[in-house]
Structure 1
Amino acid sequence: MRAPDRRRYADAGISLAELLVAMMVFSLLLTIVGGVFFSVNRNFAMSRSLDTNTKSASNGMNEISRVLRAATENPVRGQALPDSAFRSVGTETLVVYAYVNLASSSEQPIQVRFSVDGSRNLVEEIWPGIAQSGGYWTFPDPTSVAATTKRILASSVIAASSGVAPLFTYLGVSNTALSNAASNPRSIAAVQVSLTTGTTAAGDTSNVTLQNTVGLPNLPLSRAEL
């Protein structure tokens, strides 16, 4: 009897069932690898955004706190009471007089405005005081005279309308928010600064919020202990 030709079976290749199984396994592996790659990329992007937002918020908070701690009333010739340390206040802008020695070797008060521009950047503008006789100082109108120094402290500042706290909240001696801070700036005993940077998406985990209540030690107000 003739033996079967085994070469015919060796050259037969893989079956359709085997091909389908191989394709299913390959698709499964591709899905797993793609998911891992997407997850790593997403986590890396989130970590980078978080780091950027943290640095931005920290830079803005540090500078605002430094200037506010040096807030000082401005004596005016012929005026019984000095001008308030705050020339104007708002939820996203304030103008304050301060004795912060930035570049000059001599003591010189400055006028500083912190504000949020149309691109949601936190901007600092500085006007040096103009010396007058008798030790008095005057300052230009910040609404009509360009600042001597202007720089961006933080970017992507989120507005209070997106569900976060206002950038500036003004507190009285009892540590409660003042409703008349704009009309009575002399009553401001502290400023609560709440700076949130990131996106406007609610719950975005890359958003960063820093909050600090800055006391005003140079002003003649005795604030209650927290």
Structure 2
Amino acid sequence: MTALLRRARAGARGDAGLTLPELLVTMFLLSMITVLMVGTISGFSRAFTRDRSASDSTMVAATGMKEVTRVVRSGTELRLTGGGSASAPVFIEAKPNTLTMYAYIDTNSASPRPMKVRFAIDAQRRLVETRWPATNTTAPWSFPPMSSPSSSRPVARFIPTSAPALFEYLDKDNQPISAPSGGFTSTQLKDIAAVRVTLTVQADATDRAEPVTVHNAVGIPNLGISRVRP
């Protein structure tokens, strides 16, 4: 009987389960493992979001820069209706965040006509391209009023308010041309031989990813100005 009672007591102790200290230790270890797992997953999620936002910003900036470069390189001086025999400068308006110019882009090869093109940052912080095609087929050229563009479209979005100036204007020696407080004079507009473009894009509204900035200095081959130096 003594042996049977001893075995019964041992079985009862085996079915007693966990003690309170053992339960607390188990819960603590499980919570630590959970915290580590959540932290790892959150880190991967943040890294993925940053990489995706950086890729989005890069793609938007590259697309916008490509269009600005294409138009600026196509810039040309024009003889305008009522302007006499002298050609008007390539640039009509040259400001830090606004550029208006004449260019031959997307023209019909059989009957090419120039366009008036403006790039400007609007209230939604988008870089918007606006176009006015020439209204006649031969020089001297005429254009619709500024209030009647033929098309307007954003070429880049998400430009932060802290972004640097979009355009800087250079002479034939690659030196910046400083505009007076009243804006460029017609003589200074004629001196512009290149445009340095700095386009900053922040596609991540949470600012967890750094903005992307692309730079390019775009010459104007149609001016016939040599900008190659020893």
TM-score normalized by the length of structure 2? 0.87
Cα distance, 1:204 vs structure 2: 5.9
Once structures 1 and 2 are overlaid, which stretch shifts more, 101-110 or 148-157? 101-110
Kindly, what percent of the aligned residue pairs are identical?
Answer: 35
1:21 aligned partner = 25
Change (3 A) 1:197 1:103: farther
Query: Take 1:105 and 1:14, find their aligned partners in 2: how far apart are those partners?
Result: 91
Deviates more, 1:55-64 or 1:174-183: 174-183
- Measured against aligned partners, the alpha-carbon deviations of 1:66-91 in whole angstroms (never above 9, x if no partner) come to 00001001113552421111011111
2:165 equivalent in structure 1: 166
Distance 1:118 1:27 in 2: 49
Equivalent runs, 1:26-175 vs 2, <5 Å: 26-77=30-81, 79-102=84-107, 106-131=111-136, 135-142=139-146, 145-159=147-161, 162=162, 164-175=163-174
Structure exhibiting the larger radius of gyration computed from Cα positions: 2
Secondary structure of residue in 2 paired with 1:58: helix
Deviation at 1:199, TM superposition (A): 6.3
Q: For residue 173 of structure 1, what is the amino acid of its counterpart?
A: K
The structural deviation recorded for 1:206 is 3.6
Cα pair distance change 1:104/1:217, threshold 3 Å: closer
TM-score by length of structure 1 reads 0.88
Counterpart residue identity of residue 148, structure 2: A
Decide whether the 8 Å contact of 2:53 with 2:204 is kept in 1.
Answer: no
Alpha-carbon shift at residue 141 of structure 1 (Å): 3.3
Unaligned runs of 5+ residues in structure 1 are none
How far apart, CA to CA, are the structure 2 residues paired with 1:182 and 1:7?
A: 99
Q: Across the two proteins, how many residue pairs are aligned to each other? A: 219
The one-letter amino acid of 1:91's match is P
Structure-to-structure mapping, 1:201-216, within 5 angstroms: 205-216=209-220
Give yes or no for contact 1:72–1:219 (8 Å, CA) kept in 2: yes
Structure 2's unaligned 5+ residue stretches are none
Aligned letter for 1:36? T
- Looking at structure 2, the residues matched to 92 and 37 of structure 1 have their Cα atoms a distance apart, in angstroms, of 42
Range with bigger deviation, 72-81 or 32-41: 72-81
Contact 2:77 2:102 in 1 (8 A): yes
Q: Shift of residue 121 of structure 1?
A: 0.5
Report the CA distance between 1:105 and its aligned residue: 5.5
Q: Quote the Cα distance in structure 1 between the aligned partners of 2:144 and 2:11.
A: 100
Deviation digits for residues 22-62 of structure 1 (CA, Å, limit 9, x no counterpart): 11111111111101111111112112211211111111100
How many Å apart are 1:96 and its aligned residue? Answer: 0.6
Q: Deviations over 1:152-178 (max 9, x none)?
A: 11101134xx2x431100011221111
- Contact 1:157/1:198, CA 8 A, preserved across alignment: yes
| Greater CA drift, 96-105 or 17-26 | 96-105
CA RMSD of aligned residues (A): 2.3
